[in-house]
Amino acid sequence: MDAHRTDEAYDHLALLPEDMQWWRDAKFGMFLHWGVYAIPGRGEWVMFVEDMDVDEYRKLADRFDPKGFDARAWAEAAKDAGMRYMVLTARHHDGFCLFDSKASDFTSVKTAAERDFVAEYCEACREAGLRVGIYYSPMDWRFPGYFFPRRYRSSAEAMKEQCWTQVRELMSDYGRIDILWYDGAWLALGGIGFDCATRAWHSTQDVDTNGSWLWQPEKLNAMVRELQPKIVINPRSGWRGDFDTREGFVGDMQTDRSWEQCDTLTGTWGHIPGAPMRSLRNCIQLLIAAVVRDGNLLLNVGPTPEGTIEPRQVRRLAQVGEWLEHYGESVYDTRGGPFVAGPWGGATCRGNKVYLHILDWPEDWLILPSLQEKIVRSRSLTGATVDVRQMEETIEVSVPPPDRDATDTIIVLELQGSVT
């Protein structure tokens, strides 16, 4: 592939806006990083960071027999949190599969557990009415071709073949899959890599003489589209995907293309015992910061080696869900805007309603640019006394300090016409 090939070359694979609508409306999902790396409890990158011997790491699979695993409990926790979709790491960069695969013996079915956790997870999601997401990493640290693709070309090719086989299995054997979440934004086999942060191709030192790229993401995702025509695909396979991914940061407002922020509840993706957990206020403000910028939030939990989500994390998620029970109308099925988000907070909108989410009051009055539509009514969702004044060039909003909500003061502006 030409290093200068543009994203537009892949646009024919993108979903139509109407097929993306459910995802844009959902706003909030659960990410689950889980695998044999939960046993040492030092994070999902433990094999790589600690330079563990491949054969020694493999022995963890002989101890991976999570008697406490209950996919329905996971789905219930997600539903109680107000989440509308889930994404499970079917296989991380260590190569261990939570599903049955003809391409590998390093799987939960062929080792101690003798269970297909992906199958149980998919069934539980559907029973709970949640959309099913699958995370899959094309990369595999067990292959020398991961590190030196040109030097170990046959190894790199074998890793690619494993990837294609396993993606086909995941897309064929588990019913309808709603989200395919690739990982490996740094992949650069064949000398070409895709940087998800800048949404641009970049060259590397390990360049093949013909400039071709080993992974062939267009063909890979064309196969995915044949098997799962309506699946929503993220950008980390080398193709730009159906939405952008922001990892650990919210960034600027973006309304021209769907995007999702993935972040952690405890500061770590894989299970680390006792990791500090976000406060309820921080969780809510993290979600609001994404939705007022017209994005989604995918919030991660790392289940224990026993296959359970820590009770303290389940309780925190349930608290978020309780908040959404009261104020979800300002989150679900909305779009970010019409005001540009900033340190003060931001806005969501739907129909003729604008929801102001005021996270940090700059002064006694919040001053916003005026709207074409006339405000016919204003009220507070959070029980505050609100004063709204619409001028020719500004809208001024004030709530007495005692009435301001410490987490999110939500003001509803009802307009004469639909939001533009």
Successive 10-residue mean pLDDT values, the chain, 420 residues: 43 92 98 98 96 97 97 98 98 98 98 96 98 96 89 92 97 98 66 39 36 72 97 92 95 96 98 97 98 98 98 98 98 97 96 97 93 95 92 96 96 93
CATH of the domain at 214: 3.20.20.80
- Residue 114 burial (CB < 10 Å; 0-12/13-18/19+)? exposed
Are residues 404 and 272 part of one domain? no
CATH of the domain at 352: 2.60.40.1180
pTM (2 decimals)?
0.92
Are residues 102 and 18 part of one domain? yes
Whether residue 321 is contained in a domain is answered as yes
Nearest CA among 206, 211, 209, 215 for reference residue 151: 206
> How many structural domains compose the chain?
2
Whether residue 30 is contained in a domain is answered as yes
Nearest CA among 286, 2, 272, 260 for reference residue 131: 260
**Domain boundary at 279, 313, 330, which?**
330
Are residues 89 and 231 part of one domain? yes
Nearest CA among 250, 286, 290, 251 for reference residue 265: 286
* Structure token digits, residue 85: 């979709």
Whether residue 420 is contained in a domain is answered as no
Whether residue 268 is contained in a domain is answered as yes
Whether residue 204 is contained in a domain is answered as yes
Are residues 190 and 59 part of one domain? yes
Are residues 42 and 107 part of one domain? yes
**Domain boundary at 302, 330, 358, which?**
330
Phi, psi of 299 (to 5 degrees): -100, 125
The pLDDT of residue 185 is 57
Find the domain containing 344 and state its range: 337-415
Are residues 369 and 311 part of one domain? no
